[in-house]
Structure 1
Amino acid sequence: MHRWKFDNGSKKKTRGIKRKSRTFAKSITEYTTSLPSPEDNSYLGYWHLHMPFNESFIDSKNTSNSVRKLCMQTMINRMQHLIDIRTELEKDYRIYILISLPKLFDSQIVVLFDKEDLKGFFDRDTDEQRWIPLSPERSIEKEWGLEIPKELVIKGYKEIINDEDYFHEGELWFIGELG
């Protein structure tokens, strides 16, 4: 059973960690100040925001777990902000985050404009892509010390991607309005 804590044994400092963390927090806050409009995203039916971070930084073995936790908690907080500012007309939007481990860079905040799009979304069981529910004993909240509002749903999956030219195994954690 994987618990994606990253310990490379190195005590090497990463340059600019405070500046990069501040820039991340500022960027994600700017992108999530208001809810996106379905009219601006009608071709997709949803809006999503990938981590506004450099992949080589956030997924580096030298990046500390405290920085990774800060990123996850910031995403949770910004998702909650989007939930809190919804109007009556936007009440059916489903807002959640996806935390991808060990590739945190693949994480994102998602706003679905039609809650019906969640039906069947978590059913992934093909030769190319499988999502296997993680044990109920697992908790990203406890493992990473995250603060997640109690009304939000948490679903964890082991993801296996096995394509002709690519193999990946990791975890996907969905947190938010998943129903």
Structure 2
Amino acid sequence: MNLENVSKHFGRPLNDAAKSFGVSRSTFKRICRGLGIKRWQSGKRRMNGNFSSRLGKGINQEQPGRRNFGSTSMAAVNETVVVHSSQDLNKMIVKATYKDVAIRFKLPDLSGIAELENNVIERLHLKRNNFTIKYQDEEGDLVLIACDKDVRECIEISRSLKETTVKLLLDLPLNHNAL
């Protein structure tokens, strides 16, 4: 998920935008914050005829008027959200360890198991299905990454913990006959 894809959904309700990306509302909000979007504006509301949504120069978002109970004035609150268009905002740094060897690479947030495995195979010259990938969850348990959803969950957990790096452990493959 990158800024360009998210910006196409500006003006839509937050829940609808989140559903279109197949993530929960809270995950979508977390991704938006990671992209530099502090608040989601669900309506392209014009105030004083001025609304701008130019990428790279920031987004001038205007919120509907709020009551300021501390004073007698009622005014619209203008908020400028600076959007960083860096390609790296939607990527996580991955450090994976296999035996005594550590590798490091960047992985896009919406990557799946195949892209993760391909990065490992390319760097360590392992054969597919000759290793398993695990991550440590927020409770400290090692969790197997077996599908695309697991990769995204791993990244979401790291982001929610304010981590910029995902640490993975490469292990021997599971012996399904022993299960």
TM-score (norm 2): 0.25
Larger Rg: 2
Higher RCO, 1 vs 2 (CA within 8 Å, ≥6 residues apart):
1
User: What TM-score, normalized to structure 1?
Assistant: 0.25
